[in-house]
Chains A and B, each alone.
Chain A
Amino acid sequence: MDVRLSPEQVMLRDAARQVVDRLCPRTVGEFDDAERAGKLDAAVVASGWLELRTASDDGRPWATGVEVAVVAEELGRGLADTAFLGPTMAADLRRLVGASPANTPETIALSADLSQPVVARGGAVGRGAVAVDARGATSALVLLPDGDGYTIGAIALGSVTTGVDLTRPVVSCPPGAAVSRIEGQRRPLGVDDLSRWRALGLAVTCADLVGVMRGAVTVTCDYARSRRQYGAAIGSFQAVQHLLADAYVAAEGSASIALHAGWAVDALDGPDALEAASAAKAYCTRAARSVCETAIQVHGGIGNTWECLAHVLLRRALLSGEVLGGVGANLARVLAAHGIGGDDGLR
């Protein structure tokens, strides 16, 4: 056991950190800067980070869940308004069924509450499906029932964007949208594959949440050092210090369990990977909401304005929290894994 990042993983983290520090928005106003956002998209594509889960020669992904998590954490920390979760999850689905990588930008579709992948029965999607992390995407992958498993298909996406997260748009899929089967699939998606794929999605969102929390702690400590009241920096008041200390601790605990989830994706059996990821997701989701709420509180009135980054952090955390299930769904999976829960349906 040695859970420190390898030298290569540290290099990857540093590279992601550089891109984030150079191209991510530092104020709410900068989200509208299309030139900056375009450069960020281009940098992420050029770095090859969207291909981490495409297949290498032996069919395994180029990079493990750990590398994906390393990049995801940095993007979350920097509130990167670029696609990563969606394309990464789509690439992993294609890899699992042995299809070739997408040649147009692609993401995945989830149920309306974001907790489940979309299963298109009868060749069309039902009500309320949404494509997540859909910036630039022209299609989204769904599952098609096939015997005991699934194959994959795609639906075309329109351009209407909504959603809680200002950095990663969600596109609702019209009910009845036609699904076209992806060409060249070599094997169906089995139960173990699907568990592992969900584990990846949970691990990526956990890493994103850890990044958001670390970003929130940094931004908020900076503010607490500079804002003065009663003739003193507000960061010198014990009540404020304790909120920030708790936020820091929550981020560290989350980082530890999220790291394990990222490792488990490729190192454990599907069900064990899913259990590890579920525990991490429940923990990180609860922690991230609380940390972002602290960020708003410590910023005072400004924290409640559109122009303050605190709500952008919270919004991103709320979306990441719900993808493939938030607190409730994941606690249920933890109980089920210990033999004392129900079943969450699709396994």
Chain B
Amino acid sequence: MDFGDSPEERAFRLHLREWLGHNNPGLPTSSTSDEYWAGQAAWHQTLFGAGFFGLSWPKAVGGHDLPSVYEAILDEEIIAAGAPPRPSVGYLVQGLLRHGNEDVQRRFLPGLVSGRDRWCQGFSEPDAGSDLASLRTRAVTDGSEYVITGHKVWTSYSDAADWCLVLARTDPDVPKHRGISAFIVPMGQHAIEQRPIRMINGITREFGEVIFDEARVDAANMVGEPGEGWRLAMTVVSHEREPGELGYVARYGKLVNELVHAVEEQPDKYGPEQRRDLAWALVEADMLRCHVSRRLSDRLDGLSHGPEGSVDKLLMTGVEQAVGHAALSIGGAASTEGDDTWLKVYLYSRAQSVMGGTSQIQRNLIASRILELPTS
């Protein structure tokens, strides 16, 4: 049992630290402005180019085949450097690695991992949120292609995406979970319309809605077999719930350090209540760092795709929202100085208990799949 570095890990850490010292792009606070998202795309490529992205993924797709715990080292050093968090594409990578055939993996994973191609995830629909399996977007065969028609919503980064991982119904005559297939659809076609949606904190590049009006996709872009889309979706969302996959330890670590800095700068401005909110945010962020180290260690002998992602998702949500409350406390709801960054951080934090499956859905999953409580 050791949270400390092995000699190899230490060497990697120092090399990374040195590099981060010269290459921090200094982006604005995460998720508070549209510039942040634009800068994040370039940061992905920079990290990848320097050999610091996809540390635990296979070499064949552009990764480094390092033990899972190197991701924790990366996050810790990103925090220490005050650099932007690593891009959160791991859940798509895991989905394609597990369900995509060789051809799909070869054609799509390198571009996804390197940051050359931007991706979005078209699962949710206006009438299919928590009850995702009731989705109505349809895909119909036409020669060697499928024709897709439907309406996706809350699609993160749809404005910039080259590809969309779409869930669509290919067989309306079987039970709902079994009639869904997954496709990698090129976004650059006239039959796809993308409209940004404005979030409660004002940003417009977080998500959008995507309308497919007889959009076309090569049948070879199907991930898995026809009817296997649900299984892929479950793999993707289970990893989307893991802070270790998302790199969120660094996101929160950076935010709390910035909050500490704000208090350091003007110590007289902040009273015990604000400091207490900040102390909880520090404690929560520290908990998540330890928790992710534990999860990544459990993976040293191989990856599992079990229900524990729901536990992680709820823990991560607790952290994000504690950080949000500290940001609100420190920044104030009625900032008179014109900078409402902290208010935006707070408002953004409310989405964490909704995206990737709501907190209520995670609790349902824990009750049935981990605690094995009876169903009603």
Give which listed residue, A4, A238, A253, contacts B287 with CB less than 8 A.
A253
Structural contact, A249 and B373, CB atoms closer than 8 A: no
Q: How far is the CA of A36 from the CA of B301 in the complex (A)?
A: 41
Which listed segment binds A: B94-102, B217-225, B292-300?
Answer: B292-300
Q: How far is the CA of A282 from the CA of B373 in the complex (A)?
A: 30
Q: Does B35 contact A (CB under 8 A)?
A: no
Known: A2-B300, A331-B283, A338-B260. A257 touches B4 (CB 8 A): no
Q: How far is the CB of A126 from chain B (nearest CB, A)?
A: 28
Q: How far is the CA of A260 from the CA of B287 in the complex (A)?
A: 9
Structural contact, A263 and B1, CB atoms closer than 8 A: yes
Interface size class of A (residues with CB under 8 A): 35 or more
Interface size class of B (residues with CB under 8 A): 35 or more
Mark interface residues in B343-376 (1 if CB within 8 Å of A CB, else 0). Answer: 0000000000000000010111011101101111
A-side contacts of B376, CB under 8 Å: 232, 236-238
Q: Does B34 contact A (CB under 8 A)?
A: no
B-side contacts of A3, CB under 8 Å: 1-3, 293-294, 297
Structural contact, A235 and B264, CB atoms closer than 8 A: no
B-side contacts of A260, CB under 8 Å: 3, 286, 290, 293
Mark interface residues in B1-44 (1 if CB within 8 Å of A CB, else 0). Answer: 11111100100000000000000000000000000000000000
Give which listed residue, A241, A332, A341, contacts B363 with CB less than 8 A.
A241
Q: How far is the CA of A269 from the CA of B260 in the complex (A)?
A: 22
29 CB contacts below 8 A, A to B, read: A1-B293, A3-B1, A3-B294, A4-B300, A6-B1, A225-B374, A235-B374, A236-B373, A241-B373, A242-B360, A242-B364, A242-B367, A245-B314, A245-B366, A248-B371, A249-B366, A253-B318, A256-B291, A257-B283, A257-B287, A260-B286, A260-B293, A263-B3, A276-B286, A279-B287, A283-B283, A338-B260, A340-B263, A341-B275
Instruction: Kindly list the 10 A-B residue pairs having the minimum CB-CB distance in the complex, ordered from nearest.
Output: A241-B367, A256-B291, A245-B363, A331-B279, A236-B376, A235-B373, A245-B366, A260-B290, A1-B69, A257-B287
Q: Report A's interface with B, CB cutoff 8 A.
A: 1-6, 9, 66, 217, 221, 224-225, 232-233, 235-238, 240-242, 244-246, 248-249, 252-257, 259-260, 263-264, 267, 276, 279-280, 282-283, 331-332, 334-335, 338-341
